[in-house]
A and B are shown apart, each in its own frame.
Chain A
């Protein structure tokens, strides 16, 4: 069985992490809090050396009109921001002793919210 590529060719090394390419903050946060810390750290480790190349690649397009594979890569980029507190502060997927993020609902349809 052959898999279709989910990411642009230059970023095939990141294919194992393409499940992080989720389109909303809500979806990215739910993936984060349902993950093990080790999975989060592996994702951060894979993405960190590639961030400059990812941004360079994406800036060839308009953010509002990204092709599907570039769009997935873009969502992986912002997913790195989603897991940054786990890696750089908390040492855990959830905010320690924190309020349940599922109760603190992002208003994804708010009219002034950027579309991507």
Chain B
């Protein structure tokens, strides 16, 4: 891993345009502000909807509701293997063509009057077609939606004319992560919940480490590295016009904070068995259980970009609502999909390499359950915070140096709304 030279300035000094002032909370509780976010953000930007491995075969499709884009989108794989995306709206009388969230089909049939569509969205058949008047069959295709992939992640954009290609949107921040072994992580566990909280407030709870010592005190606080003052602070952070990254150090003496340990034969990383005997057993029994191997070429320069020896993971927040945390041998991919100004669908996925032994699966289950319970801790504050914000007892929140990603999120959203409203319509 090649280290990229770290900037010695504080995060806020590096991004002076973000300022240091308290941040207003109205955008987290206002239905009107959410309508502006829908118009100027969620109807304009690329949004992550899944991975190519979950729809590998011709005819596979997924259907995704994007309430903040006022859209239901179908993504299909055609007989040639190419992906297509289209609005889930029949050209006849507007019924949803697909009701289920995924499936496999040769054609898509509307259940209302039987209109059928090919996997590329073109019209295939119409019952009693002779009874219609001057039908333009080509215009009766399903309405296309832009679709593109980055490193196996599928993104859609409901803007009929996206202002940027996906590669242009992601490249400046994330091209340096290309080559990470995403394709080796094919064992995926996922959970969903609808949480009564604004999407920004929800994602903000995941993009700082200040909360870890408190919210995660009994679970993983000891798995992250503390600085000399005893605080859990990120190694480094990066912001651009849309996206942001944080790099986090682990405690190499812990199982959860040292995911590399499963790939090593040494037992030096094992925790004291007296305190966490199940963790120690999982690590011991899990060794040599992986179906695949990882080697230095699997780690692009942008991963652990400071080259910190205790590095545990990088958090990548792909604007607006996709959180991608990359570790040496697994990744977490979360969507915080807005439903309304105070409701969010949290879709959390963790992708591991496949395990071939019982001990390997035991280790993976240990890591997965630890993560799931940590997520229950993370989720625990959200509805309380949202309710408290809605009292309007406070108008602003106070943010410290290492909460810069919360500040950056609010700044990007506000900038895009201001730019959208200033543009000629």
Chain A residues with CB under 8 Å of chain B are 25, 44, 48, 51-52, 54-55, 58-59, 63, 74, 77-78, 80-82, 84-85, 87-91, 95-99, 101, 103-107, 110-114, 116
Asked whether B189 lies within 8 Å of A113 as measured between CB atoms, the reply is yes
10 smallest CB-CB distances across A and B, nearest first, come from: A99-B379, A81-B365, A112-B188, A58-B358, A98-B376, A84-B278, A81-B366, A55-B359, A107-B190, A78-B365
Q: Distance (Å) between the CB of A43 and the closest chain B CB? A: 11
Say yes or no: A51 contacts B218, CB within 8 Å. Answer: no
Which of B188, B279, B372 touches A110 (beta carbons < 8 Å)?
B188
Measured CB to CB, the closest approach of chain A to B213, in angstroms, equals 14
Complex CA gap A59/B289 in Å reads 10
Q: Are B358 and A54 in contact (CB under 8 A)?
A: yes
Q: In the complex where A44-B278, A81-B278 touch, is A63 in contact with B361 (Cβ < 8 A)?
A: yes
Task: Determine whether the beta carbon of A82 is less than 8 Å from that of B190.
Answer: no
Q: A63-B356, A84-B366, A90-B219 are in contact. List 14 more A-B contacts (CB 8 A).
A: A25-B189, A44-B278, A51-B281, A51-B285, A55-B358, A63-B361, A77-B361, A81-B278, A82-B369, A95-B219, A96-B218, A98-B380, A107-B192, A112-B186
On whether the beta carbons of B362 and A80 are closer than 8 Å, the reply is: yes
Residue of B nearest to A79 (CB): B365
Taking CB atoms and an 8 Å cut-off, the chain B residues in 350-404 that contact chain A are 351, 354-359, 361-362, 365-366, 368-370, 372-373, 375-377, 379-380, 382
Other-chain residue from B192, B349, B354, B376 in contact with A101 (beta carbon distance below 8 A): B376
| Interface SS, B side | helix
Task: Determine the distance from Cα of A77 to Cα of B281 in the docked complex, in whole angstroms.
Answer: 11
Residue of B nearest to A81 (CB): B365
Of the A-B pairs whose beta carbons lie under 8 Å apart in the complex, a sample of 18, sorted by A's number, is: A52-B281, A54-B358, A78-B362, A81-B282, A81-B365, A81-B369, A82-B369, A85-B219, A89-B373, A90-B373, A95-B373, A95-B380, A99-B382, A110-B190, A110-B349, A111-B54, A112-B53, A114-B361
Contact A88 B358 (CB under 8 A): no
Taking the complex as formed, is B277 at the interface, i.e. its CB lies under 8 A from any CB of chain A? Answer: yes
Which listed residue (A82, A104, A107) contacts B376, Cβ 8 A? A104
CA distance A36 to B217 in the complex (A): 22
* Chain A residues, CB < 8 A from B377: 95, 97-99
**Chain B residues, CB < 8 A from A106:** 189-191, 372
Contact residues in A for B275 (Cβ distance below 8 Å): 88
Closest-CB distance, A106 to chain B (whole angstroms): 5
CA distance A113 to B365 in the complex (A): 12
Looking at A58, A81, A91, the one whose CB has the most chain B CB atoms below 10 A away is A81
Chain A neighbourhood of B362, CB < 8 A: 51, 55, 77-78, 80-81
Partner of A112, one of B187, B279, B355, B358: B187
